[in-house]
């Protein structure tokens, strides 16, 4: 009996715990960890989120080894830390502000409460720092109490960072705001859960009633129908046989109605499963034709099936539910159409591959068009209401529950699809739906030509010298990256720095493909694509691929809705962009080759503080990487200036756009810490958390300053090395020149002034600053004269070229030619 009581008590405790509202149930642990890590990174102190009992939920961020390796290593130490934090959290809740406290071992910490309905559901703490050195006797006393070696404990304590009290107070103020933000998240989540629970309970009660009622009706109805069908086999008078036939027909109709009710109740209860499988859409349409054609009877009605010849022959989806939807729509069309035709049309459009598997996908587009009675405009909105039939007076002789379209809508929602309706009263209707399907076999149902060609050349590399593409991005670094990466494919590549410029170029030039940046000022990629698709019919078949760092499903759907065909995640990778080009370029523009085309050898660069190996692997070559960091170094101060300007103007949208660009470009050079900080700030911008942005902005700018210093040191060292190598190479040539006449090479170089400035002018007018720099460096290497003005001119020219200062370059060019 005692054992049974213990087990029962355990069950009660487990039930209480499962029903208990906790912080971790309201806000996902990963999100809590992300917020905490970002906070610790910006304030450079530890962070930890605990539940209402002081039990940690997250992993400690930027912890002090003194705490983790010593204080937490004993049961007593852990207990003390938990009690201190919980006590301070309750005090902070009463004071409605963060509390700074000194822990038993002398470290400064601070906590802020996380609250739901005036109840403590957790707290966030930080610190593990000192404002001044702690008395050694206190450290030794704690070492003795915790059973630790005094010398080791003291040595570990001496490694704890000492931070000004003002910085600790700022950290405490920040953490209170963060705790308030988490409290708001928890409250929103709790309210949503409560509303959802109430809705689910109501839906379940209704669904249970419908299901029970339907089962109770179907059991005797099946018996009636079975007996009537047995009776049909007996000999009987024509009159009695007619009665029996009517019973069978009515019974079949009633069973169909009950099945509809069961389907609807399953969907309402969330028990309708979507079970995908591989299928051939052509075979599916043939089967539907056979089933629907039997409903026509003696009507003067033509049933037509039409499928796009290029439809992939292998799709992956729930064929049972898709057939159910098409049959429902086609049967309705036949039901409400006395003469004319019913056209079932199957088309498709390519969409972005599945994010988890990379498998190709399409939007399967089915439309059912009839020449029937049509629907009044005011009745269209009632079509999807359960148990309702529109224009009931006119359609009183038409059987049905009014559940068919309600079920269709629910099934489409379960498969991420949607429906549209067009109708003209008295003339007919068109019901169309779109549902995404994965592609298992891309061979067209009408032709296998393309797949055969692809299978033959599957292992071959390719070039596309006849192809012309357009790359649109407001960031010159990104344009340089894409054009550099695609150099081995030998395409004609044009670039545009804005959506407006892209539209101008598309009006005058025909392109095979466009890479479109997502986030751009003034007119972003989605808006630009909408304009192209709506106002430029000559570009209807031209693929547009989004370049984006946002690969979540909501962003992907906005690309598709705007008319984009696919997307390419940032930072751009050579292998993936090459794959996308092969998929979307016209077949006739691709020339296969047995030679494997690779980007430049991935030679590494060592820059302390940057993950250069990651960046070079991403970009494909050292050459592109060095060009990117030069450009990044030049533009970073302007990026920071723009961010600060947005902060001063309280322009959240512009700040989010600019910090998004900083996130991508920083990742491309291997500045991972800065990229992650920018990503966090971007998320805050998307959520319009302006106060939090203002609090964390100083930490972001500390990281930009650090990155700029790293690049400045690296670029300066690289330039000095290149200059030494150039002079050494020149000196080696001089010593090996047996004909050395001692003539002034610099003067000789400038004797043909006209030729030199002709070449330099061509490069400058073509905006080829790399070539200009090369010419100036050659001149500097050859110059050994004594004319200080010429050397001064060369140095000034080099500086203005490196700064891309076109006005100064033009001024110096004019002086040099005088």
pLDDT at 124: 93
Report helix, strand or coil for 348: strand
Indicate the average pLDDT of the chain. 77
User: Which of residues 200 and 610 earns the better pLDDT score?
Assistant: 610
133-137, 292-296, 351-355, 446-450: segment of lowest average pLDDT = 446-450
Task: From 466, 414, 449, select the one nearest 435 (Cα to Cα).
Answer: 414
For residue 272, how many C-alpha atoms fall within 13 Å in the half-sphere facing its CB? 23
H/E run at residue 748? helix 745-751
Beta carbons of 156 and 65 less than 8 angstroms apart: yes
Residues 6+ apart with CB under 8 A from 492: 465, 467, 468, 469
Report yes or no: 70 and 77 within 8 Å, Cβ to Cβ.
yes
User: Would the pLDDT of 251 be above 90?
Assistant: no
Interatomic CA distance for residues 63 and 110, integer angstroms = 14
Select from 777, 778, 772 the least CA-distant residue to 804: 772
Nearest-angstrom CA–CA distance, 652 and 688? 7
Provide the pLDDT for residue 446. 62
Confidence class for position 505, pLDDT limits 50, 70, 90? very high
Distance in angstroms (rounded) separating the CA atoms of residues 604 and 617: 9
Quickly tell me which residue has 């003696």 as its tokens.
Answer: 298
Structure confidence at residue 462 as a pLDDT band (50, 70, 90) = confident
pLDDT higher than 90, residue 348: yes
Please state, in angstroms and rounded to a whole number, the distance separating the CA atoms of residues 405 and 263.
12
The pLDDT assigned to 804 comes to 60
Q: How confident is the model at residue 357 (pLDDT cuts 50, 70, 90)?
A: confident
- Per-residue pLDDT averaged across 49-77, rounded? 81
The C-alpha atoms of residue 239 and residue 256 are separated, in whole angstroms, by 26
Q: Are 782 and 776 in contact (CB under 8 A)?
A: no
Rounded to whole angstroms, how far apart are CA atoms 263 and 291? Answer: 20
- Tell me, what's the pLDDT at 448? 37
Which pair of structure tokens corresponds to residue 267?
A: 């969907």
Angle between helix axes 622-648 and 476-485 (nearest 10 degrees) is 160
Structure tokens at 763: 């490069």
**Which tens digits make up the pLDDT trace of 713-760?**
887 776 656 545 544 454 454 444 444 443 343 344 444 566 677 777
Determine the angle formed by the axes of helices 690-736 and 769-782, rounding to 10 degrees: 40
**pLDDT (0 to 100) of residue 513:** 94
- Give the integer Cα–Cα distance in Å for 325 and 409: 9
Mean pLDDT (whole number) for 261-266: 60
pLDDT beyond 80 at 554: no
- Predicted local distance difference test score (pLDDT) of residue 477: 73
What local confidence, expressed as pLDDT, does residue 747 receive? Answer: 41
Distance CA 345, CA 367 (A): 5
Please check the confidence at residue 323 and state whether its pLDDT lies above 80: yes
pLDDT higher at 631 or 350 = 350
Q: What are phi and psi of 620, to 5 degrees?
A: 100, -20
Whether the per-residue pLDDT at 568 is higher than 70: the answer is: yes
720-733 CB burial, b ≥16 within 10 A, e <16: eeeeeeeeeeeeee
Long-range interactions of 780-788: CB distance < 8 A, separation 24+: 781/726, 781/727, 781/729, 781/730, 782/730, 782/745, 782/746, 782/748, 782/749, 783/745, 783/746, 783/749, 783/750, 784/744, 784/745, 784/746, 785/744, 785/746, 785/747, 787/747
Quote the CA–CA distance of 71 and 65 in Å, as a whole number. 9
Burial environment of residue 213 by CB neighbours within 10 A (0 to 12, 13 to 18, 19 or more): middle
CA separation for the pair 427, 212 (Å, rounded): 41
Rounded to 5, what percent of the chain is helix, strand, coil? 60, 15, 25
Q: Render pLDDT for 291-310 as a digit per residue (tens, 0 to 9).
A: 787 678 778 888 888 888 88
Q: Is the pLDDT score of 580 beyond 90? A: no
Mean pLDDT of 78-100: 86
Give the highest mean pLDDT range of 254-268, 594-608, 695-709, 765-779. 695-709
Q: What is the mean pLDDT of the segment spanning 573-583?
A: 79
Averaged over 13-35, what is the pLDDT? Answer: 75
> Residue 596 to residues 16, 462, 577, 794, 809: CA-CA distances in angstroms?
64, 8, 16, 42, 41
Q: Is the pLDDT of residue 214 over 70?
A: no
Distance CA 40, CA 47 (A): 6
Residue 610: count of CB within 10 angstroms of its CB: 23
Mention every residue, 6+ apart, whose C-beta is less than 8 A from residue 607. Answer: 629, 670, 710, 711, 714
Alpha helices in 121-164 (DSSP H): 136-146, 150-157
Question: Regarding beta strands 300-307 and 339-351, do their DSSP bridges make them parallel or antiparallel, or are they unpaired?
Answer: parallel
Tokens 């019973």 belong to residue: 247
Contacts of 674 (CB under 8 A, 6+ apart): 662, 666, 703, 704, 706, 707
Instruction: Read off the pLDDT of each residue in 375-387 and give the average, rounded to a whole number.
Output: 69
Question: Closest Cα to residue 767, out of 490, 495, 488, 511?
Answer: 495
pLDDT of residue 277: 84
Question: Residue 401 pLDDT more than 60?
Answer: no
Average pLDDT over residues 500-508: 91
**Mean pLDDT across 8-22:** 52
Share of the chain above pLDDT 90, in %: 13
| Rounded Cα gap, residues 13 and 615, in angstroms | 52
Could you tell me which of 367, 355, 423, 413 has the C-alpha nearest to residue 560?
355
For the beta carbon of residue 136, count every other beta carbon within 10 angstroms: 12
- 116's enclosing H/E stretch is strand 108-116
How much is the pLDDT for 110?
A: 92
Q: pLDDT confidence of 19, banded at 50, 70, 90?
A: low
Q: Look up residue 552 and give its two tokens.
A: 């979540």
Q: What DSSP designation does 508 have?
A: H
Tell me: pLDDT of 328 over 60. yes
pLDDT band per the 50, 70, 90 thresholds, residue 669? confident
User: How far apart (Å, rounded) are the C-alpha atoms in residues 635 and 398?
Assistant: 71
β-strand partners of 340: 301
CB 657 within 8 A of CB 521: yes
pLDDT in tens, 102-158: 887 788 889 999 999 888 999 999 888 888 776 777 778 888 888 888 888 787 888
Alpha carbon 744 to its chain's center = 61
Q: How confident is the model at residue 605 (pLDDT cuts 50, 70, 90)?
A: confident
Q: Is the pLDDT of residue 595 over 60?
A: no
Residue with structure tokens 């609090």? 695
Give pTM, 2 decimals. Answer: 0.33
CA torsion, ordered 518, 523, 527, 530, to nearest 10 deg: -110
Q: What would you report as the CA-atom Rg of the chain, rounded to the nearest whole angstrom?
A: 36
What pairing do the DSSP bridges indicate for beta strands 566-569 and 544-548? parallel
Report strand pairing: 119-129 vs 108-116: antiparallel
For residue 450, the model assigns a pLDDT of 39
Q: How many CB atoms lie within 10 A of CB 146?
A: 18
Q: How confident is the model at residue 207 (pLDDT cuts 50, 70, 90)?
A: low
- Percent of the chain exceeding pLDDT 70 equals 73
Residue 805: C-alpha distances to residues 478, 702, 795, 798 (Å): 20, 28, 14, 10
pLDDT at residue number 403: 56
Asked whether residue 346 carries a pLDDT value surpassing 90, the answer given is yes
């Amino acid at each position: 009996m005692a054992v049974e009581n213990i087990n029962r008590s355990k069950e009660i405790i487990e039930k209480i715990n499962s029903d208990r509202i906790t912080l971790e149930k309201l806000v996902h642990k990963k999100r809590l960890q992300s917020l905490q890590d970002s906070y610790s990174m910006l304030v450079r102190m530890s962070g930890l989120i605990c539940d209402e009992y002081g039990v940690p939920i997250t992993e400690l961020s930027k912890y002090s080894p003194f705490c983790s390796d010593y204080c937490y290593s004993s049961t007593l130490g852990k207990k003390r830390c938990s009690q201190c934090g919980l006590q301070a959290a309750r005090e902070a809740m009463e004071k409605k502000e963060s509390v700074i406290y000194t822990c038993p071992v002398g470290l400064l910490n601070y906590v802020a409460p996380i609250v739901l309905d005036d109840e403590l559901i957790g707290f966030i703490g930080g610190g593990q720092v000192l404002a001044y050195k702690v008395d050694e006797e206190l450290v030794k006393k704690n070492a003795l109490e915790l059973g630790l070696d005094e010398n080791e404990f003291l040595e570990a304590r001496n490694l704890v960072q000492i931070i000004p009290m003002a910085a600790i107070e700022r950290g405490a103020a920040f953490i209170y705001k963060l705790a308030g933000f988490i409290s708001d998240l928890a409250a929103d989540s709790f309210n949503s859960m409560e509303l959802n629970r109430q809705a689910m309970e109501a839906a379940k009660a209704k669904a249970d009633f419908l299901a029970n009622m339907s089962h109770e009706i179907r059991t005797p109805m099946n018996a009636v129908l079975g007996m009537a069908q047995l009776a049909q086999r007996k000999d009987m008078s024509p009159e009695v046989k007619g009665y029996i036939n009517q019973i069978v027909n009515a019974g079949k109709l009633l069973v169909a109605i009950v099945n509809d009710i069961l389907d609807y109740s399953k969907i309402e209860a969330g028990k309708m499963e979507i079970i995908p499988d591989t299928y051939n859409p052509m075979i599916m349409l043939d089967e539907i034709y056979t089933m629907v054609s039997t409903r026509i009877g003696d009507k003067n009605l033509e049933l037509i099936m039409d499928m796009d010849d290029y439809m992939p022959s292998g799709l992956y989806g729930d064929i049972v539910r898709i057939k159910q939807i098409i049959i429902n729509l086609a049967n309705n069309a036949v039901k409400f159409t006395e003469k004319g035709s019913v056209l079932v049309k199957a088309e498709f459009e390519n969409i972005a591959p599945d994010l988890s598997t990379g498998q190709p996908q399409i939007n399967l587009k089915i439309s059912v068009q009839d020449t029937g009675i049509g629907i009044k405009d005011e009745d269209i909105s009632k079509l999807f209401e359960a148990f309702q039939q529109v224009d009931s007076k006119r359609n009183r002789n038409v059987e049905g529950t009014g559940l068919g379209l309600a079920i269709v809508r629910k099934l489409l929602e379960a498969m991420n699809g949607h429906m549209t309706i067009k109708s003209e009263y008295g003339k007919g209707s068109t019901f169309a739906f779109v549902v995404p399907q994965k592609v298992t076999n891309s061979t067209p149902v009408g032709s296998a030509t393309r797949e055969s060609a692809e299978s033959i050349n599957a292992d071959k590399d390719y070039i596309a010298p006849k192809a012309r593409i357009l790359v649109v991005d407001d960031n010159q670094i990104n344009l340089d990256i894409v054009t550099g990466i695609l150099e081995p494919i030998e395409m004609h590549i044009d670039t545009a720095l804005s959506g407006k410029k892209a539209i101008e170029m598309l009006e005058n030039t025909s392109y095979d493909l466009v890479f479109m940046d997502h986030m751009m000022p003034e007119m972003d990629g989605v808006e630009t694509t909408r304009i192209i698709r709506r106002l430029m019919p000559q570009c209807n078949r031209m693929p547009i691929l989004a370049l984006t760092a946002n690969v979540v499903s909501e962003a992907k759907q906005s690309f598709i809705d705007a008319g984009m065909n696919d997307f390419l995640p940032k930072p751009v990778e050579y292998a993936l962009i090459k794959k996308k080009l092969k998929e979307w370029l016209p077949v006739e523009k691709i020339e296969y080759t047995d030679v494997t085309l690779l980007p430049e050898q991935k030679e590494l660069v060592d820059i302390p503080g940057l993950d250069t190996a990651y960046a070079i692997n991403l970009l494909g070559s050292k050459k592109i990487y060095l060009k990117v960091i030069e450009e990044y170094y030049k533009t970073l101060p302007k990026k920071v200036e723009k961010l600060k300007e947005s902060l001063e103007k309280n322009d959240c949208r512009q700040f989010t756009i600019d910090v998004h660009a900083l996130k991508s470009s920083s990742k491309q050079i291997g500045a991972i810490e800065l990229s992650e900080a920018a990503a966090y700030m971007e998320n805050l911008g998307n959520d319009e958390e302006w106060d939090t942005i203002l609090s964390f902005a100083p930490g972001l700018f500390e990281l930009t300053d650090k990155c700029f210093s790293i690049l400045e040191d690296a670029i300066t060292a690289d330039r000095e090395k290149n200059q030494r190598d150039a002079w050494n190479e020149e000196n080696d040539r001089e010593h090996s020149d047996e004909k050395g006449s001692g003539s002034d090479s610099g003067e000789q170089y400038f004797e043909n002034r006209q030729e030199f400035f002709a070449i330099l002018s061509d490069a400058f007018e073509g905006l080829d600053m790399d070539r200009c720099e090369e010419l100036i460096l050659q001149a500097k290497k050859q110059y050994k004269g004594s004319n200080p003005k010429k050397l001064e001119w060369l140095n000034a020219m080099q500086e203005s070229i490196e700064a891309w200062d076109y006005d100064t370059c033009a001024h110096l060019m004019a002086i040099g030619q005088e």
